[in-house]
Amino acid sequence: MVTALDPAYHDSTDPPDAAPLTVVHRVRTGRRGRPRVEIDPQFLSAALDLRGPTGIAPEIGVSARTVRRAALRAGLVQPGAPVFQSRTNSNGELEVVHTSTAPPVSVVSNEELDRLLSETLEVFPQFGRRMIRGHLKSQGYRIPRHRITASYLRVHGAPAIFGDRQISRKKYRVPGPMSLAHLDGQHGLIRYKIVIHCIIDGYSRFVLGIRVHNNNRGASVLRLLLDVIALHGCPSRMRGDHGVENIEVAAYMERVKGSGRGSFIWGRSVHNTRIERLWYNVTHGFGKKWKVFFLDLETNHGLNPTRPGHIWLLHHLFLASINRDALDRCEAWNSHQLTVRRQRERSPRDLFTFGMLREGPRGISSFLAAEDEEIEDINEYGIDWEANAEPELMAHLFENNPDERTNNTDPFASSSTPANLSEVLCEPPGCPFTPRQLQLLDLRLDASVDLFSRNMNVRRLVWVRALQIAQEIQQGSVQ
């Protein structure tokens, strides 16, 4: 009984904004028998991309066969062969053969698969097997695991720890999707006036939005939240650190969701470790690649990060590319399989979609006051305490948030709103060229190098050539 009280307590703290989503309707046809079951085609199309009929059926209270028939009526799948077929083997004996009902895999040759993996590892060199599979799935490819493993061995070779990494299971509980979103900024590239801001759903770890900015302004962070709301709705609550850049988001949440209920929960970065897991993967997925690249430009190719013109040129050349890496990385993250305790492996997108169906919708009505019950301790709501015991994650957090080692906040403070906010200044430099000069720079650059290549060696040539052209324009040797 005690075990059952804990989930009951948490489930009651943040009721859904509206009644459960209705995706199944029973329609009377006027004929004898039970009503026909109709499943919303739009939902079914999205659900079949995440699970098969057997996985969808218990979530909507029908049989797998009913899901299959509804998909056939909607034209979402094609009729399959009988599950069991009889055939005569080479010895003249009759045998029964089982036909798989799994989704069809992509027809890709070994050479094409090796090329896809090579391109993936060139952009995301730290990807493991699950992230590679998630990335390929986000690109529309369904590839069996054994083929991905074999291709990885051909392309990359066998690393010592490949396929042997421990997955830690964490105790974290919020009522459902969009109950609590985590907001944070990552400053690994702050030396080059680049900050990555991200918002994730705490329930499913689904990345709601990510963007690479050339500043750390509150307006930029709020714009990211508004774009998230346009796609997924407004979270019931948000958790963020004591950064000045979060003030506008906090004010918006208090205005829209109400004050005095913890609409925005201020806390230290060590209490926002739910998103720290993503930052660890982002750093090793593409952030480290760009940091090493920029350091190489400093050491060998004339980049001086103290000169505003150099930083402007760096942003002009590569900010969009870093944003593309961030979006691709998070699409792969949302599609890769997570190990969930006492459940089958599910992707964050799957957990978000079916969690919304199972636990009820939140965020679909941004201006509807939720009938909240009071949370006993809002400061502890949504903290992944067990993550704080992981040395690898915490070392990464302190590396990017050194102030957390010597946090001197008042231990007796009673308010969740911090008395002091930290500020990481990051203001982008202005363009040093006139519109005509900027057009000339882009035209000459486009004529001499491949601006769309994702190969870091080609990007190095882009920087060298761009710096040369920029210097010629400033010196007046190019008109």
What digits encode the pLDDT tens for the residues 45-82?
988 888 888 899 998 989 999 998 899 888 888 777 77
Which residues, listed in sequence order, are joined to residue 181 by a DSSP beta bridge? 201, 238
When pLDDT is averaged across residues 387-409 and rounded to a whole number, the result is 53
Residue 76 to residues 54, 70, 213, 303, 377, Cα–Cα distance (Å): 16, 9, 40, 53, 47
The Cα 382–Cα 10 span in angstroms is 11
Q: Average pLDDT of the chain?
A: 81
Q: Mark 27-38 as b/e (b = at least 16 C-beta within 10 Å).
A: eeeeeeeeeebe
The Cα 209–Cα 215 span in angstroms is 17
Tokens matching residue 206:
């689904």
Nearest alpha-carbon partner for 268 in 413, 427, 426: 413
The Cα 473–Cα 441 span in angstroms is 8
Model confidence band, residue 403 (pLDDT cutoffs 50, 70, 90): low
Question: Structure pTM?
Answer: 0.76
Model confidence band, residue 170 (pLDDT cutoffs 50, 70, 90): very low
Instruction: Flag whether pLDDT at 141 surpasses 90.
Output: no
When pLDDT is averaged across residues 91-114 and rounded to a whole number, the result is 78
Greater confidence (158 vs 457) lies with: 457
Amino acid (one-letter) located at 90: S
Greater confidence (31 vs 252) lies with: 252
Cβ-in-10-Å burial (0-12, 13-18, 19+) of 204 comes to: buried
The Cα 302–Cα 380 span in angstroms is 48
Residue 28 to residues 25, 35, 38, 44, 69, Cα–Cα distance (Å): 10, 5, 10, 21, 17
Model confidence band, residue 298 (pLDDT cutoffs 50, 70, 90): very high
- Please enumerate in sequence order all residues whose Cβ is within 8 A of that of 224, keeping only pairs 6 or more positions apart, or say none: 197, 199, 209, 211
Most confident option among 89-98, 129-138, 267-276:
129-138
The Cα 132–Cα 122 span in angstroms is 12
pLDDT for 367: 36
Tokens matching residue 297:
């430009």
Instruction: Flag whether pLDDT at 371 surpasses 60.
Output: no
pLDDT for 285: 77
* Alpha-carbon dihedral sign for residues 248, 254, 259, 260: negative
When pLDDT is averaged across residues 422-449 and rounded to a whole number, the result is 91
The Cα 96–Cα 99 span in angstroms is 10
Cβ-in-10-Å burial (0-12, 13-18, 19+) of 248 comes to: middle
Residue 362 to residues 181, 225, 234, 355, 379, Cα–Cα distance (Å): 11, 16, 8, 10, 21
Most confident option among 81-85, 155-159, 169-173, 356-360:
356-360
When pLDDT is averaged across residues 417-434 and rounded to a whole number, the result is 82
Contact criterion met (CB below 8 Å) for 410 and 179:
no
pLDDT for 417: 61
Cβ-in-10-Å burial (0-12, 13-18, 19+) of 177 comes to: buried
- Please enumerate in sequence order all residues whose Cβ is within 8 A of that of 129, keeping only pairs 6 or more positions apart, or say none: 145, 148, 149, 152, 162, 163
Instruction: Flag whether pLDDT at 402 surpasses 60.
Output: no
- 118-130 pLDDT, tens digit each: 888 888 887 888 8
Task: Please give the backbone phi and psi of residue 438, each rounded to the nearest 5 degrees, phi first.
Answer: -65, -40
When pLDDT is averaged across residues 263-283 and rounded to a whole number, the result is 77
Instruction: Flag whether pLDDT at 12 surpasses 70.
Output: no
pLDDT for 381: 58
Instruction: Flag whether pLDDT at 369 surpasses 50.
Output: no
Which residues, listed in sequence order, are joined to residue 10 by a DSSP beta bridge? none
Most confident option among 46-55, 200-209, 420-429:
200-209
The Cα 313–Cα 431 span in angstroms is 8
Largest CA distance in the chain: 88
pLDDT for 220: 96
